[in-house]
C-alpha cells in the first residue's frame, strides 16, 4: 500500500470555520484512501499563513520525523510562507505543495521552488504561479475540486431568493453586495449570507450597521457557517447564488450551486469565469460582473429579478452545465498521479 503523509491546517475539521480549502483537503484525503493509499494526516495548529516561531518549529518537527523518500502533500496555507522549514527536507522527502490561493510573495516562490511538485486547484492559479515564479511548467499540475451530485432545485417563479455562501470578509465582497442590494431595494427579494462571521469581526460589525441604516437588516440574513444538511437546504431554497469576491482562484460554491441547477452571479475575476464555464451548447449558466463594482452588480441583480425570460434561460443553462461537472474521484485520480510521479522522481 502506498503511503502519503498529508500536512493540514489545524482547523481542518472545525465546524465553526469551514472553508473551500479545508473542504478540498478533507475530501482529497478521503478519496485517496478510497483509491488504496494509506493516508496519514498531520494537522498543524497555527496562525497560518502567518505562523509564530513555535508553530514553524512544530512543522519542522513533523517533517523531520518522516522517513526518507516519503511522499508528503502539504496544504499551501501551511507550506507557502515557510521555505526555511521546507528546504532542509527538500532532497530527503518528496514534497508536493497544494496551492489553493496564491500568496504571490518571495517566500512563496522559494517554498514552491523547494517542492518536488506543485498542485493547483484551477488552471488560472497554475498560470498565475508560472507567470510569477520561475517554476518548470512540468512540475505544476491542476487537480480541480470535484462536486457531489445533488437534486435539481426547482426555483421560485419570482427568482427572489438570493444566496451568498462565503466567509464574511472584505476579500469575499459582501460590502459590495450590500451596496448593490441597496440599489435594488425597491424590488422584492431576500438574501441569505452563509459563512463564518469571525474572520474579520470589525468588517462584519460595519456591515451590520450599514444594513440596519439602509433598512435592509430584515431582508439580509447573516446565517453564520452551515455544513451538511443545513447547507444543502440553503442551496435547495435558493434561486440565485451571488458571489461578489474581489479575488477567487476557483470558487467551489459555484459548482455546488450548479450541481443543483442554480444559476450564479459572480465577479469576473481569477478562476471564477472558468469555474462557471458554459453548458455544452455554449451558454453561460449565470452572469459575470466586474469585481468591486456595486453598480454593475446591482444592474445584474435588477435584470435577474425583473426579466423572467433571462431567469428561464440561465436556469436551463445551469441544468445543462450540471451534467458536465466532475466528481471528487476525478480530483483524487489527478492528485494520485502527481504523488506517484513525485515518488518515482
| Residue 1: per-residue pLDDT | 64
Res 72: pLDDT: 98
- Residue 119 forms beta bridges with which residues? 98, 141
Taking the C-alpha atoms of residue 235 and residue 258, their distance in angstroms, rounded to an integer, is: 10
Fold of 3-146+326-344: Rossmann fold (3.40.50)
Specify the pLDDT at position 18: 82
| pLDDT (tens digit per residue) in 275-314 | 999 999 999 999 999 999 999 999 999 999 999 999 999 9
What phi, psi does 308 have (nearest 5°)? -60, -35
Q: What is the pLDDT of residue 129?
A: 97
- % of the chain surpassing 70 pLDDT: 100
pLDDT at 344 over 70: yes
Beta-ladder partners of 167? none
Q: At what angle do helices 174-183 and 201-213 cross, to 10 degrees?
A: 0
Confidence bin at 16 (pLDDT 50/70/90): confident
Cα 273 from Cα 299, distance rounded (Å): 19
Q: Is 3.40.50.2000 the CATH number for 161-322?
A: yes
Alpha-carbon gap, residue 267 to 18, rounded angstroms: 22
Q: How far apart are CA 242 and CA 297, in angstroms?
A: 9
Under the banding of pLDDT at 50, 70 and 90, the label for residue 104 is confident
Q: Would you state the pLDDT for residue 301?
A: 98
What confidence tier does 190 reach under pLDDT thresholds 50, 70, 90?
A: very high
pLDDT digit string, tens, across residues 49-83: 999 999 999 999 999 999 999 999 999 999 999 99
For 315-319, which contacts have Cβ atoms below 8 Å and span 24 or more sequence positions? 315/155, 315/261, 315/263, 316/283, 317/263, 317/278, 317/279, 317/283, 317/284, 317/285, 317/286, 318/257, 318/258, 318/261, 318/262, 318/263, 318/264, 318/279, 318/285, 318/286, 319/152, 319/261
Res. 109: pLDDT tops 70: yes
E strand or H helix at 83: helix 83-86
Mean pLDDT of the chain: 96
pLDDT on residue 14 = 83
In this predicted structure, what is the pLDDT of residue 345?
77
Of 1 and 88, the structure prediction assigns the larger pLDDT to 88
Q: Could you give the residue range(s) of every CATH 3.40.50.2000 domain in the chain?
A: 3-146+326-344, 161-322
Q: Which letter does DSSP use for residue 264 in this model? A: E
Query: Residue written as cell 517554476?
Result: 135
User: Each residue of 230-266: pLDDT tens digit?
Assistant: 999 999 999 999 999 999 999 999 999 999 999 999 9
Amino acid at each position: 500500500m502506498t503511503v502519503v503523509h498529508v500536512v493540514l491546517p489545524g482547523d481542518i475539521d472545525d465546524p465553526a470555520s469551514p472553508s473551500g480549502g479545508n473542504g478540498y483537503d478533507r475530501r482529497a484525503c478521503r478519496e485517496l484512501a478510497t483509491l488504496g493509499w494509506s493516508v496519514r494526516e498531520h494537522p498543524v495548529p497555527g496562525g497560518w499563513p502567518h505562523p509564530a516561531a513555535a508553530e514553524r518549529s512544530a512543522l519542522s518537527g513533523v517533517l523531520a520525523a518522516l522517513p526518507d523518500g516519503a511522499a508528503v502533500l502539504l496544504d499551501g496555507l501551511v507550506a507557502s510562507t515557510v521555505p526555511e522549514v521546507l528546504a532542509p527536507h527538500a532532497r530527503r522527502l518528496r514534497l508536493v505543495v497544494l496551492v489553493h490561493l496564491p500568496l504571490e510573495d518571495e517566500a512563496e516562490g522559494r517554498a514552491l521552488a523547494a517542492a518536488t511538485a506543485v498542485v493547483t486547484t484551477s488552471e488560472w492559479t497554475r498560470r498565475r504561479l508560472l507567470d510569477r515564479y520561475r517554476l518548470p511548467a512540468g512540475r505544476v499540475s491542476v487537480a480541480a475540486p470535484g462536486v457531489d451530485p445533488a437534486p435539481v432545485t426547482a426555483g421560485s417563479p419570482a427568482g427572489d431568493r438570493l444566496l451568498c455562501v462565503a466567509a464574511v470578509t472584505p476579500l469575499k465582497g459582501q460590502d459590495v453586495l450590500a451596496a448593490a442590494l441597496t440599489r435594488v431595494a425597491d424590488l422584492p427579494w431576500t438574501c441569505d449570507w452563509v459563512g463564518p462571521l469571525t474572520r474579520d469581526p470589525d468588517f462584519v460589525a460595519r456591515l451590520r450597521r450599514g444594513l440596519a441604516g439602509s433598512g435592509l437588516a430584515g431582508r439580509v440574513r447573516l446565517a453564520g457557517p452551515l455544513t451538511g444538511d443545513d447547507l444543502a437546504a440553503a442551496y435547495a431554497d435558493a434561486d440565485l447564488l451571488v458571489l461578489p469576491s474581489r479575488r477567487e482562484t476557483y470558487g467551489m460554491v459555484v459548482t455546488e450551486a450548479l450541481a443543483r441547477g442554480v444559476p450564479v452571479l459572480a465577479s469576473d475575476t481569477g478562476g471564477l469565469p472558468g469555474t462557471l464555464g458554459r453548458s455544452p451548447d455554449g451558454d453561460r449558466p449565470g452572469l459575470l460582473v466586474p469585481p468591486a463594482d456595486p453598480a454593475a452588480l446591482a444592474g445584474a441583480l435588477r435584470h435577474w429579478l425583473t426579466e423572467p425570460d433571462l431567469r428561464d434561460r440561465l436556469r436551463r443553462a445551469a441544468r445543462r452545465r450540471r451534467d458536465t461537472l466532475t466528481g471528487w474521484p476525478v480530483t483524487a485520480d489527478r492528485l494520485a498521479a502527481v504523488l506517484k510521479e513525485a515518488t518515482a522522481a
